[in-house]
Structure 1
Amino acid sequence: MMDLSQLIPNYPDVTQIAIPFFIIAILAELAYLKLTHAERKAGFETRDTLTSLLMGTGNVVSGLLLGFVAFGVLMWAWQFRIHDFGFSWWAVALCFLLDDLRYYWYHRIAHRSRWVWAEHVNHHSSQHYNLSTALRQSWTSTFTGMFVLRIPLVLIGFHPLMIAFVGGLNLVYQFWIHTEAIGKMWKPVELIFNTPSHHRVHHATNPRYLDSNYAGTLIIWDRMFGSFVEELDEDMPRYGIVKNIGTFNPFKVAFHEWVNMLRDAFQPGLTMRQRLGYLFMPPGWSHDGSRKGSEDLKADYVRLHPDQAGMPGLPGAEALEPRKDALVPGE
């Protein structure tokens, strides 16, 4: 008798199904913000929202054109699996949990390695924070090769189609947390799940909030791995990136950091180690120490506000020591 658990389900493309919901939710949020006139709400800027929608469209197109690369690699890896979890509901639930952990580490790497930041930065490029910002997605994620982080899931026995399905569920979940229309939620929810409050922190450029709250669905990963920072009423998030790009051109949004990164890496007179540093070290790294990364910005903030030393997201009293502005040439 055929084992029905081994029949591959026809998993729906949940992100495509959710598109009408996305549009309705964006319009509802816009209506709410206009009706409430809440001062803390970032609101909508027409050109910014249009850019986000175009970025979302480009992401769909790039997925259609290049999605076979990642899926092909995962299907190749499937032949080497050590187990097969099948397609039961509990296998889907376990796959979702582990893929959410995978997403956490992908997201953390994306903020700590310029190579991956080059494709992820566009999601942070809006200085507004509303549901349309969630659609500001990458066109170049395939080129970073980060889909290899899903290979361990395949090898332990989760089918690539299931992984794609739970990944879509994760992305759909993350849509609704891109809003200022929802304040802090019930404490048990805030404790376990990623919420608008937690994700506002992630999108903020305030020094205390840089490089924090990488969660997809479950904020427990940030709490476990020491990257959680709570949103404070006395330090409301300011959105964008540390050096805003000042453009609504979707092509510039999609490719500006790739251009800047490669320009830095191939400038004359550098050692190979320095060139690799511009490609793979954290954003803000420079071979001569002339730029500031997130650690430097946090330390500068603490020097100006010594009473904040040691608070979540900020360094301790050691940040009050004078900053070493330059590295030894060649290091």
Structure 2
Amino acid sequence: MLDPLIDTLHAYLSAGNVDWKHVILTGMTPVFLIAFVIEWAKLRNTDKAKQFSGPDILANLGLGASYQVFEIAAYALITAVAANWIYQYRIYDMPINGWTILPLFLLEEFLYYWFHRSSHRVRWFWSAHVVHHSGEHMNMTTAMRQSLLYSITGWWLFFMPMVWLGVPPAVVFALYGCNLAYQYFIHTESVGKLPRWVEYIFDTPAAHRAHHGRNPQYVDKNYGGVLIIFDRLFGTYVEENEAVDYGLAYRQPEGHNILTLNFQEFNAMWRDVLKPGPLSQRLKHLWGPPEWQRPSSE
């Protein structure tokens, strides 16, 4: 019964060299903004109104808009070129239908988990993802707090196994766009804990609030996008059990300048690399965890 619908959607997605991630996120923007207004109206007269900081919200919107504009150029110059080249050497022509769409979604979620986990534990990838975590307030516009550097640091690399397997790049990016669209709605304090079975399977507002916390027990936990099952499987799940202190555990930026927020950590990483010392230690500033520092010579 679903096959005709899936076939039609597949044909539509595969038409032309379109960045469906960008199309989905741009098309959803009015819905995102309406949801934010509803969230604000619900919380404005509560103790959670402190999460709505004007300068912070404007920075979030500016970061989201600049990210979307830059991604257009990055897709044309980097992402599409790489994906289409890899697709030429695919090992299989993956059918897109009612039988395969759910397994492909699960595969995309699995790859997203490792992209997200690497974005916290490898400084090269963290230098882009840090922008998203630098906000010290939590509301739905926090989801728009994105970096210009994602395509430069290579988010798309993590999803190329799907392309090599034989999933059309347009379908891969559409699935990723849907994943990101879902995540917008879990950046909020307007929703408490959901029924236990929901919290066990899905990435919920409660689970994602913990992910954004700099409380010691919350740091580097809950990497899932739509699902939380891989966190439970790989030991990175934590339950929200105390008030979340939002922001970075180290090198918290000050101010709301979009360029500073985008490049502060990236520039700091390269300054560390260029400091004199053994090459192996200099390069570890790229692949080591963000908090790693060279051993003291004293």
Per the normalisation by structure 2, the TM-score is: 0.91
1:175-201 per-residue CA deviation (whole Å, 9 max, x = no partner) reads 000001100001111010000000001
Distance 1:82 1:7, change over 3 A: farther
User: In the alignment, what sits opposite 2:102?
Assistant: 93
Shift of residue 42, structure 1, vs aligned partner: 4.1
Alignment of 1:208-247 (within 5 A): 208-232=217-241, 235-242=242-249, 243-247=251-255
User: In the alignment, what sits opposite 1:44?
Assistant: 52
SS in 2 for 1:209: coil
Structure number with greater CO (CA < 8 Å, separation at least 6) is 2
1:161-218 per-residue CA deviation (whole Å, 9 max, x = no partner) reads 1001100000000000000110000111101000000000100000011110000011
1:9 aligns with 2:11: yes
- More helix by percentage: 2
1:282 aligns with 2:289: yes
1:99–1:150: 8 Å Cα contact kept in structure 2?
A: yes
Distance in 2 between residues matched to 1:28 and 1:6, nearest whole Å: 34
The match for 1:147 among 148, 151, 156 is 156
The match for 1:176 among 170, 185, 195 is 185
1:6–1:86: 8 Å Cα contact kept in structure 2?
A: no
Alignment of 1:127-166 (within 5 A): 127-166=136-175
SS in 2 for 1:10: helix
Distance 1:8 1:183, change over 3 A: closer
Which protein shows a greater Rg?
Answer: 1
Shift of residue 146, structure 1, vs aligned partner: 3.4
1:251 aligns with 2:284: no
1:261 aligns with 2:269: yes
1:114 aligns with 2:111: no
Distance in 2 between residues matched to 1:5 and 1:135, nearest whole Å: 32
User: In the alignment, what sits opposite 1:322?
Assistant: none
Distance in 1 between residues matched to 2:11 and 2:98, nearest whole Å: 11
1:271 aligns with 2:278: yes
Distance in 1 between residues matched to 2:221 and 2:155, nearest whole Å: 20
SS in 1 for 2:100: helix
User: In the alignment, what sits opposite 1:34?
Assistant: 44
1:1-59 per-residue CA deviation (whole Å, 9 max, x = no partner) reads xxx95995223622122110011011111111113x1x255421000000000000011
User: In the alignment, what sits opposite 2:16?
Assistant: none
Shift of residue 253, structure 1, vs aligned partner: 0.5
Shift of residue 87, structure 1, vs aligned partner: 2.5
Distance in 1 between residues matched to 2:216 and 2:197, nearest whole Å: 27
The letter for the 2-side match of 1:20 is: P
User: In the alignment, what sits opposite 2:65?
Assistant: 57
Shift of residue 145, structure 1, vs aligned partner: 2.3
SS in 2 for 1:231: coil
SS in 2 for 1:211: coil
Distance in 1 between residues matched to 2:12 and 2:155, nearest whole Å: 26
Using the aligned pairs only, state the percent identity.
Answer: 37
1:41–1:180: 8 Å Cα contact kept in structure 2?
A: no
1:57-102 per-residue CA deviation (whole Å, 9 max, x = no partner) reads 0110111111121122111111222221222133332222111110
Distance 1:139 1:214, change over 3 A: same
SS in 2 for 1:100: helix
The letter for the 2-side match of 1:257 is: E
Distance 1:62 1:256, change over 3 A: same
The letter for the 1-side match of 2:269 is: M
The letter for the 2-side match of 1:16 is: T
Structure 2 runs not aligned, ≥5 long:
1-5, 14-19
Shift of residue 128, structure 1, vs aligned partner: 0.1
User: In the alignment, what sits opposite 2:28?
Assistant: 18
Matched residues, number: 283
Distance in 1 between residues matched to 2:208 and 2:50, nearest whole Å: 15
Runs of 4+ in 1 over 6 A off after TM superposition: none
